[in-house]
Amino acid sequence: MTDEITLIEQLQDQKTREVAFKHLISQYKERLYWHIRKIVISHDDADDVLQNTFIKIFKSINHFKGNSKLYSWMYRIATNEAITFINKKAKERNIDITDYQHQLVSNLDSDNWFSGDEIQLVLQKAIATLPQKQQLVFNMKYFDEMKYDQISEVLETSVGALKASYHIAVKKIEQFIKNYN
Cα distances (angstroms) measured from residue 131 to each of 40, 98, 142, 145, 175: 14, 8, 16, 20, 15
Q: What is the pLDDT of residues 131-172, one digit of tens each?
A: 889 999 999 999 889 999 999 999 989 999 999 999 999 999
**Degrees (nearest 5) of the Cα angle 82, 118, 87?**
20
CATH of domain 116-180: 1.10.10.10
Quick one: CATH architecture of 1-95?
Orthogonal Bundle (1.10)
Across 5-14, 39-48, 102-111, 134-143, least confident range: 102-111
> Residue 133 burial by CB count (10 A; 0-12/13-18/19+): exposed, middle or buried?
middle
pTM of the model: 0.84
What are the extents of the domains in the chain?
Answer: 1-95, 116-180
